[in-house]
Amino acid sequence: MPVLIGTSGFSYSDWVGPVYPADLPRSDWLRFYSQEFHTCELNFSYYRIPSARTLEKMADKVPDSFLFSLKAFQGITHERDPNSVASQIAQFTAALKPLVERGKFACVLLQFPHSFCATSEKGKENRAYLSRLREEFGDIPCVVEFRSRDWITSQTFEELRRLNFGFCCVDQPRFQNLVPPIAVATGPIAYVRFHGRNRAKWWRHTEAWERYNYTYSDAELGEWIPKIRQLGTEAPLTLVYMNNHWQGQAVGAARRLKTLMEKMETKE
């Protein structure tokens, strides 16, 4: 089944030079990006709910086969105000219409904070919240990224399958309280995010980008190739995004992973 590799975001000023030519207008960055990659995870939607017009303009700049994933607005996953979630989701899903109609929408990424736990006193409430999100999002494809390790149980995977939510597999520093690098598909879209393994800056950083300042080795990327291929047998579509974005390292990692996977296929 198809495996699409891209990056988490594309609009970074520090990519000028490492990725984008210095004379390339910012308005052409996405068009330039889409000449090489066939999918992108949009992260600006976490900070503000996009407008349909904005997403329509973005759709105009990419080929017909291009797919966007969008990170859910922070009010939905982090603030979780029961009085505003429904309206936020309604506004968010309405904005997706141009992408959906043109076949350029993949899914919504529901990334929860580390404080969103499964076994704390709020665990039952948090599980109920996942069910509410499925009701509010309707048939919109969604993938869930947990940050707390206590979600990694067979119960969670069965609940995600029941809700038709995908599970976000992650590569990140191997702290005991974080999600380990497992490969599981629970919905129609298998999803993998590479955050980098910068242990020193994961919890202690001044700027957010410091956490994702990491260059993957071929050996580290190679660890995921059998896992990604496994996911490809379990879901109709597998999306892989590199989030180690500082100074274009994500682009380098995406290129290397693609090359390594192609070399393995050639050997077979």
- The answer to whether 202 and 175 are in contact (CB under 8 A) is yes
Q: Which pLDDT tens digits describe the chain residue by residue (268 residues)? A: 699 999 999 999 999 999 999 999 999 999 999 999 999 999 999 999 999 999 999 999 999 999 999 999 999 999 999 999 999 999 999 999 999 999 999 999 999 999 999 987 788 999 999 999 999 999 999 999 999 999 999 999 999 999 999 999 999 998 888 999 999 999 999 999 999 999 888 888 888 888 889 999 999 999 999 999 999 999 999 999 999 999 999 999 999 999 999 987 776 6
CATH of the domain at 41: 3.20.20.410
The domain in which residue 213 lies consists of: 3-267
Single out the residue of 267, 268, 260, 188 nearest to residue 227, CA to CA: 260
Question: Residue 50: what pLDDT?
Answer: 97
Report the SS3 class of residue 14: helix
- The answer to whether 4 and 262 are in contact (CB under 8 A) is no
Ramachandran angles phi, psi of 7, nearest 5°: -125, 160
Q: What pTM value is reported for the model?
A: 0.95
- N-to-C CA span, the chain: 17
Question: Residue 1: what pLDDT?
Answer: 65
What gap in Å lies between CA 86 and CA 3, rounded to an integer? 33
Domains: count for the chain: 1
